[in-house]
Amino acid sequence: MSQVRNVKILGTGKYLPMKKVYSHEIDELLGVTNGWVEQKSGVVVRSFVEQETASEMAAYAANDAIKASGLQKTDIDCIVSVSGTMEQPIPCNAALIQQQLGLNDSKIPCFDINSTCLSFVTGFDTISYLVHCGRYKNVLLVSSEVASVGLDWDKKENVILFGDGAAAVVLTKTPENEPSKVLCGHMETFSDGAHFTEIRGGGTKLHPNNPNGKKDDFLFDMNGKSVFKLSSRNIAAFLEKLLAASDCTMNDIDLVVPHQASGMAMRILRNKLGIEERKFMNIIHNHGNTIAASIPMALHEAIMQNKIQRGNKIMLIGTSAGLSIGGVVFEY
């Protein structure tokens, strides 16, 4: 059955915190050879929040996206936070974002969709059905991530990858005679890897006040080798299904916008996809891995840099904690 949805990305926006952290600074901090961090991560510079909260960053990116869409804030009729982190456990991120946008009198419905690094992809895929069916007119999807606060500086290989930031996208129904459409979405979750990438503590299983909680229980932990093995074993079959559902071949795709996981992960993915470098959006060098914000941020950059034209076929693809692999193919 065709999955096509008549949905158009009307505008995108982005926000990065002021504070820039260069890889050579992290070399020093970690006491490693000069150049090690950049070589290992593919990141030259990332941004870390100082005072910015996730909802503040979200509002900056959202205002940007709404402006790029030619809309007023009040034209938005649904706000969905598509982030892998929460600003606070209650309420949901989207309500905090509505408040930051000064839309507290708007009654705009607010909720969150979360599949860690794939949250934007899942949100885009899911919500496009509601836009297609006419439930909402202009939906604001926002990913806003503060990765820096949860980093474990004793885990060199992980800590070097991440950056903070936000990205936003406005979805609308495609006007008649325009080509924009979502061709397909596909996601697979392999919970054999549920604990390969995790923050163990801070939820109901190990509450922050639990006296047994150790500092590193509340910090990001990833077994990179296990993640690599499990995703490598499954990516080819996943890709085949994604392409089949989109009725495209890899040759039809004008640009791949991958999750900016790490320099190495992206090199491996590009090889698996078998595509040229110019068709593979890479912004990791000056952003780092911004969790769920990384895909919409790279998409925003691709649009700003004129790498995408209306009618182009775009593939979003990535892996996330879960372990999940997810992707969407759409005509911009």
**Closest C-alpha among 100, 19, 26, 20 to residue 58:** 100
- Please count the residues of this chain forming the interface with a second copy, following the rule CB under 8 A: 80
Of 33, 175, 205, 277, the residue at the interface with a second copy (CB under 8 A) is 205
Of 19, 45, 75, 129, the residue at the interface with a second copy (CB under 8 A) is 129
Position 233 contacts a second copy (CB under 8 A): no
Nearest distance from C-beta of residue 53 to a second copy, angstroms: 5
Position 202 contacts a second copy (CB under 8 A): yes
What strands lie across the sheet with 7-15, from one edge to the other?
Answer: 7-15, 165-173, 138-145, 78-81
Helices 224-246 and 263-273, packing angle to 10 deg: 40
Choose one: 30-38, 103-111, 268-276, 295-303; the region binding a second copy (CB under 8 A).
103-111
Position 326 contacts a second copy (CB under 8 A): yes
Q: Could you tell me which residues come within 8 angstroms of residue 69 by beta carbon, excluding any fewer than 6 positions away?
A: 10, 11, 138, 170, 172
Nearest distance from C-beta of residue 177 to a second copy, angstroms: 21
Quick one: 303 or 329, whose CB is closer to a second copy? 329
Nearest distance from C-beta of residue 81 to a second copy, angstroms: 9
Position 122 contacts a second copy (CB under 8 A): yes
Nearest distance from C-beta of residue 114 to a second copy, angstroms: 4
Q: Please, what sign has the CA dihedral across residues 293, 53, 202, 148?
A: positive
Position 197 contacts a second copy (CB under 8 A): yes
Q: Which of residues 6-25 bind a second copy (CB under 8 A)?
A: none
Nearest distance from C-beta of residue 39 to a second copy, angstroms: 26
Alpha-carbon distance 148 to 162, whole Å? 7
Of 36, 39, 53, 254, the residue at the interface with a second copy (CB under 8 A) is 53
Nearest distance from C-beta of residue 3 to a second copy, angstroms: 6
Q: Which of residues 260-289 bind a second copy (CB under 8 A)?
A: none
Beta bridge partners, 255, equal 314
Q: Which of residues 136-195 bind a second copy (CB under 8 A)?
A: 145-146, 149-150, 185, 187-192, 194
Position 112 contacts a second copy (CB under 8 A): yes
Residue 123 identity (one-letter amino acid)? G
CB 291 within 8 A of CB 145: yes
Alpha-carbon distance 229 to 304, whole Å? 35
Quick one: 118 or 257, whose CB is closer to a second copy? 118
What long-range pairs does 265-272 form, CB within 8 A, spacing at least 24?
265/228, 265/319, 266/42, 268/228, 268/232, 269/235, 269/317, 272/235, 272/236, 272/239
| CB atoms inside a 10 Å sphere around CB 53 | 15
Position 329 contacts a second copy (CB under 8 A): no
DSSP state of 282: -
**Closest C-alpha among 276, 286, 328, 270 to residue 307:** 276
Position 134 contacts a second copy (CB under 8 A): yes
Q: Which of residues 71-100 bind a second copy (CB under 8 A)?
A: 79, 84-92, 94-96, 98-99
Position 292 contacts a second copy (CB under 8 A): no
